Amino acid sequence: MARRKKVYEGKAKILYEGPEPGTFVQYFKDDATAFNAQKKDIIDGKGVLNNRLSEFFMTGLAQIGVPTHFLKRLNMREQLIRQVEIIPLEVIVRNYAAGTMSERLGLEEGTQLPRPIVEFCLKDDNLGDPLVSEEHIIAFGWAAQQDLDDMIALALRVNDFLSGCMMAVGIRLVDFKIEIGRVWEGDFQRLIVADEISPDSCRLWDIETGEKLDKDVFRRDLGDLADAYTEVARRLGVLPSNVTHATKPTLIN
Ligand code: TYD
């Protein structure tokens, strides 16, 4: 088979040209990064878990009428996706205070917010993805007012869906980030959920114990990240039957 053309390589994923125009193959790596890639490691099996989890969430969203870029999973680490024009904003939805919101506003982590709050950060690693206001977004032309309204509506629908999925398996969805892309259908554009939805970009706490089951395990050195993601996948019933996170051979007595 001819070697595929790499279109883009990010911190956790690689995009290759897809088999048909308008498609990409999205490959999930095992690389974990935090604090703008100042902290890095390879977590065996993370890519396999995130490929499955993102498939699970994107498929569920499509079933409730939320459009996404996901077309189909191809193998353990790859999925076929629609090519989109990524809007250069990280869209964050928060249900409880944590992370930078806690720092900025002096709120104790875990404080329930009066309602879900949507925030936007500019996707720019050199600047450390700064928080931006709707005024900035419109003035600098990163998105139009109509896009903003659509993005907020989309993000809140994703929040309701993800919160419900997680609540059903005893997990609190504290916050998450999504990326949104534009697709063109004739002269009309539509916004759809793109990138990935996985514990890399969510805060997930066990409802009973408060145990963290997301990338904070890596950011804050709280234990084994793959174990945490495996637990999320296991509870949701999406663990691939033939894979554990261990990829090294182990001796069997
Ligand atoms: P936030 O608390 O703002 O930042 P940090 O993760 O650095 O403490 O993040 C809110 C949520 O959004 C959290 O679940 C992580 C996620 N997120 C990303 O996945 N990538 C990003 O670039 C940003 C800004 C947030």
Q: Coil, strand or helix: which one is 4?
A: coil
69, 45 contact by CB (below 8 A) = no
- Within this chain, do residues 103 and 194 fall inside the same structural domain, yes or no? yes
Distance 177 CA to ligand 1 centre (A): 6
How large is the average pLDDT for residues 204-229? 97
Distance 35 CA to ligand 1 centre (A): 10
| Per-residue pLDDT tens over the stretch 97-145 | 999 999 999 999 999 999 999 999 999 999 999 999 999 999 999 999 9
Q: Give domain status of residue 164, yes or no.
A: yes
Enter the tokens of residue 185: 């259908």
Distance 131 CA to ligand 1 centre (A): 11
Q: What is the mean pLDDT of the chain?
A: 95
| Per-residue pLDDT tens over the stretch 144-163 | 999 999 999 999 999 999 99
Indicate the number of domains in the chain.
Answer: 2
- Within this chain, do residues 53 and 117 fall inside the same structural domain, yes or no? no
**In terms of pLDDT, which residue wins out, 16 or 243?**
16
The DSSP H or E segment spanning 157 is: helix 145-168
Q: How confident is the model at residue 233 (pLDDT cuts 50, 70, 90)?
A: very high
Question: Minimal CA–CA distance to 27: which of 35, 17, 36?
Answer: 17
How large is the average pLDDT for residues 75-93? 98
Atom of ligand 1 nearest to the CA of 92: 12
Question: Minimal CA–CA distance to 201: which of 181, 211, 180, 216?
Answer: 216
Q: Whose CA is nearest to atom 18 of ligand 1?
A: 201
Atom of ligand 1 nearest to the CA of 100: 2
162, 54 contact by CB (below 8 A) = no
Tell which one of 93, 94, 100 to mutate to probe ligand 1, the residue whose CB is within 8 A of the most ligand atoms: 100
**Alpha carbons 174 and 193: distance in angstroms, whole number:** 19
| Per-residue pLDDT tens over the stretch 176-206 | 999 999 999 899 999 999 999 999 999 999 9
Burial of 205 (0-12, 13-18, 19+ CB in 10 A): buried
Q: Give domain status of residue 252, yes or no.
A: no
- Within this chain, do residues 67 and 53 fall inside the same structural domain, yes or no? yes
- Within this chain, do residues 199 and 109 fall inside the same structural domain, yes or no? yes
Q: How confident is the model at residue 3 (pLDDT cuts 50, 70, 90)?
A: confident
Distance 50 CA to ligand 1 centre (A): 17
Q: Give domain status of residue 217, yes or no.
A: no
Residue 124: CATH number of its domain: 3.30.470.20
The DSSP H or E segment spanning 62 is: helix 46-63
Task: Count CA within 13 A, CB hemisphere, residue 208.
Answer: 3
Enter the tokens of residue 188: 């009309």
How large is the average pLDDT for residues 161-178? 98
Strand partners of residue 34: 39
- Within this chain, do residues 105 and 49 fall inside the same structural domain, yes or no? no
Tell which one of 201, 214, 217, 218 to mutate to probe ligand 1, the residue whose CB is within 8 A of the most ligand atoms: 201
- Tell me how far CA of residue 33 lies from CA of 12, 71, 147, 196, in angstroms: 8, 27, 30, 15
- Judged against a pLDDT cut of 90, whether residue 226 lies above it is answered with yes
The number of beta carbons lying within 10 Å of the beta carbon of residue 24 is 21
Residues with CB under 6 A from ligand 1: 90, 92, 98-101, 121, 129, 175-177, 201-203
In the chain, the percentage of residues whose pLDDT exceeds 90 is 91
What backbone torsions phi and psi does residue 208 show, to the nearest 5 degrees? -75, -50
The number of beta carbons lying within 10 Å of the beta carbon of residue 41 is 12
The DSSP H or E segment spanning 147 is: helix 145-168
The dihedral through the CA atoms of 227, 128, 126, 26 has a sign that is: positive
Q: How confident is the model at residue 239 (pLDDT cuts 50, 70, 90)?
A: confident
Q: Which domain holds residue 11?
A: 6-84+225-236
- Within this chain, do residues 105 and 196 fall inside the same structural domain, yes or no? yes
Enter the tokens of residue 251: 């001796």
- Within this chain, do residues 112 and 146 fall inside the same structural domain, yes or no? yes
